[in-house]
A and B are shown apart, each in its own frame.
Chain A
Amino acid sequence: MIHLPVLLIIIPLMAAFALPLSIPVIRRNYKVIIAAASVIQFTLSITALVMSLQNPVQYQVGGWPVPLGITLMLDASSGFMTAFLSLLFVAAVTYSFSYIGRGKARYYYVLLMILWSSLTGMILTSDLFNLIVFIEISSVAAYSLVAYDETSFALEATLKYMILGTLGTTFIIFATGIIYSSVGSLNITDVSTQLHSVPAKPLNISIALYIAGFGVKTALVPMHTWLADAHSSAPAPISAILSGVFVKVGVFALFKLMYNMYGWSMLTSLGIDRLLINIGAATALLGGIMAVNQRDIKRMLAYSTITQVGLIVMALSLGTLQGLSAGFFHMFNHGIAKGSLFLSAGLMARKANSNEIQHLAGMGRCMPLTFFCFTVGALSIVGIPLLNGFLSKWLICSSLVSNGQITHVIILLLTSIIGVMYYLKVLQSLALPQEPEFNHSEASYKMYTPVVVLSALCIIVGLLPYIPLTVIDRAAFDFLNLNEYIISPIGRF
């Protein structure tokens, strides 16, 4: 099954292309097509993960060898991220079946499938320009999905996101242009063998442009202003995907370039690792501080995402295997927990017809199962023991300590304490005794099933972390040594 990397990208695209057709069978039953495509993609992702743990698969699109064609690389880290992506997307698609009303829902699913396919492409590709193309596809899909509700808040948030996002992509294209003009090849491994002959100044500029460009996509500190608006005005499943996966894929792509193309020794000699870890710390602190006085629940969750992404960047920029494992594990845990949080917040906000925390008072008592899932997600992000968030934060702490970054450990503990403050405020407000006229019923089983599954995963991974941790350790190992897995002849012709 060597064609697996391409199939992972093609199958959601086929579903997306099939939806706008005017055949009556498809017009009435588009949900069946979407459900079938999601199930197939999910099984293929799990198969890909299992296959990639045994040995990595390298795929040359079109059959052209390395410097000429595009390479798709399915190793343990890509397989892990693809499986994680598919899990959250299946949850979001199942949730969307009942959450998104009729009318323009067909194009919602088209854009959702395109988003899925392009995020998978971003993870799997090993080619600089192909990465840019997939970033653009996923950005266009994300911009339009944020604007789905068409309220004026959503439109302004989309516009701000679009302008900043296009600036970021322009910087990334510029950096790719610098790399291509100096080296002559676009494959990540091929470039990494040639970078020693490039003069230093253009290389530094390209690193700075890549960090600026990817920083916009992943909301690192000076470029984070779009995330609060965009994630709070998007529909709930889209917020879950954007917060849970989209920013993580951006971080993954940035660090794949940093580790594999430039090489960590070059970055350490330039001081980029200090820069990245400080950016991560600043992002974490800023997210925590801004989250405290938010009145809107989704905005608070969005700032919490900024905090956790800062922690992930701190962990990934240490350069050690331990740091990488901690970073990947926190990506996974935060993704599941934030997904469950956004989906359950969406359920409660829809019943209460408002997004503000004070209007949601007492909803917890009306909808006990949803409130339980929300609590599990919130406690996981805060870092309560027995849940998965505690384990990943502990791993980040220990990898920071073994690298001697004591100030950053203090920053991590500070963010956790601030997190306790704003999450407990929400939990307390939700658990108040209900007003007499406030008698909402529990959500339908179709909507709370994905939420329950995600929260259950939080608890399971928290209690039995052995299997995820072995997968993630293998993923981190492959991530560091990606260049050694490219099998085709890399030579100059």
Chain B
Amino acid sequence: MTKTKSDRPIHVFIPAYNEEENIGEVIKGLQQLQLSLKLYVIDDGSTDKTAEEASKAGATVIRHLVNLGGGAAIRTAFALALLNGADNVVTLDGDGQHDPKELQCIVEAAKNGGDLVVGSRFLREQELEMPFYRHIGIRFFSWLMSRLVAMRITDATSCYRAYKTAAIKRVFPKLRENQYYGLEVLMRMGESKAKIVEVPITSKSRNKGKSKKGIIKYAYNLLRTLVENGFHQS
């Protein structure tokens, strides 16, 4: 019997690199939801037990032999979503920064017409669990991004997102960025006239372990991504 669109599972992709301490909890959090989900972890060449922990928790693990970066992991995720004929795709971080309970409202927004739904930490009044300079940096890049895609974006770097596969199909061949993909995907989506929607999410810090992104390198690469992709867009 053919399943209807609403019956079909949501494909959830979690890119992870050396997240053995957090990945199990993230997967368990998702499994507790009353939703039909297919959970995939894209293990981006981890040197710890991320793949084992993810597999033990019940996710399907797709493993890069070497560390390529979050952008490459997302491209692998998109390729699999297209290959598996998914309708809706959700991506979230493997470090526990994203609350699995908020997946439902992100998916709802996608089902209500959003081609790309971005979970924004700045849409709701809340204590932001991030350093002040990071807050300012994200707001600055989001402002720049809003100018480029000609629509209001408040959290351009958030990776808690839902995508319609049809929208992924349009931008997939144009994605190049191996590391800082958040901005690139937004730009390509904006370019393809996709409907981008933001929904509020909770701001949390990672569960355990340290972030792998140094602030200067992070800011430089965000700027580089914007310039390179803005130039490509123009």
A and B interact = no
> Which positions in B face A, CB cutoff 8 Å?
none
> Which positions in A face B, CB cutoff 8 Å?
none
